[in-house]
Amino acid sequence: MSPTTVLITGATDGLGRWLALRLAASGVGVVLHGRNPARLDETAREIRAEGGREPVGVVRADLADLRQVDRLADEVLDRFPGLDVLVNNAAVGFGEPGGGRELSPDGVELRFAVNYLAGYHLTRRLLPALVAAAPARIVNVASIGQAPIDFADPMLDHGYDGYRAYRQSKLAQIMFTLDLADELNGTGVTANTLHPATLMATSMVREAELTPLSTLHDGGEATLRLIADPELADISGVYFDQTMAAAPHAQALDPDARRRLRELSELLVAQALARPS
């Protein structure tokens, strides 16, 4: 596969930035997403300085706010009616040691909101552009760190822990990916997810005061494989630990749990989009 247009969320730092630079260097038309205009400009300048293809688009939104996610989807659909690859990469990490529970502007636990719900809503909105460009791919950057969702307390009102919040949001991503693969069967659009590498050298890892164990190159190469490797053209609905197919947490394989997550997601999105301005 030789993708021509790839949207990367969280393209101004860490893995997203690595992917943007590498794809642009190979001539791919990258759509950069970020929330900070200065960092978006800096990433575009770095692409130019390294001789990469000029980004075909720069889009800005705070993924913690589902109304901004909605506006982002509108902009992408208008400017890029055919989208070859969507990489849901943007994420909030574990947080600072001892950090407390945080909420998004929509009142959703922050890690669930950014790491999962934003990608859920953005992907569902962008499906027409992906189907129009088929063969196309959806790549969800998850984690080997996965925690089951307690549907009696999905927003972690009780016993909050940043690690648990992060891991729960990443399992939700995997569950969504498996559902998407089933839904998109026969459309030419595949959906896969991966743990790119363990504790890459990113600002997220530094914020948590953890020692990096992997490089951005390690995680980047594994993610790039899902974006462009022609051998994966017909592979969908798979969770990869780097480059190896792996079994996710058992809850991801439970159809009833995935149904409950879909229902919760639709409810949270509907409530967010209906709230007063």
Which residues fall within 8 angstroms of residue 85, CB to CB, at 6 or more apart? 3, 5, 6, 7, 136, 137, 138, 139, 227, 228
Q: What is the helix (H) or strand (E) element at residue 87, kind and residue range?
A: strand 85-88
End-to-end CA distance of the chain: 43
The phi and psi torsions of 197 (rounded to 5 degrees) equal -175, 160
Question: Are 22 and 6 contacting, i.e. CB atoms less than 8 angstroms apart?
Answer: no
Q: Which amino acid is at 209?
A: E
**Phi first, then psi: what are they for 132, rounded to 5°?**
-65, -30
The type of residue at 159 is G
Q: Which stretches within the chain are classed as H helix?
A: 14-25, 37-49, 66-79, 110-111, 118-132, 162-183, 203-207, 216-228, 255-274
Burial class (CB in 10 A: 0-12, 13-18, 19+), 194: buried
Catalytic residues: 166
What is the helix (H) or strand (E) element at residue 7, kind and residue range? strand 5-8
Q: In what order do the strands lie in the sheet with 85-88?
A: 57-60, 29-34, 5-8, 85-88, 136-141, 189-195, 239-241, 244-245
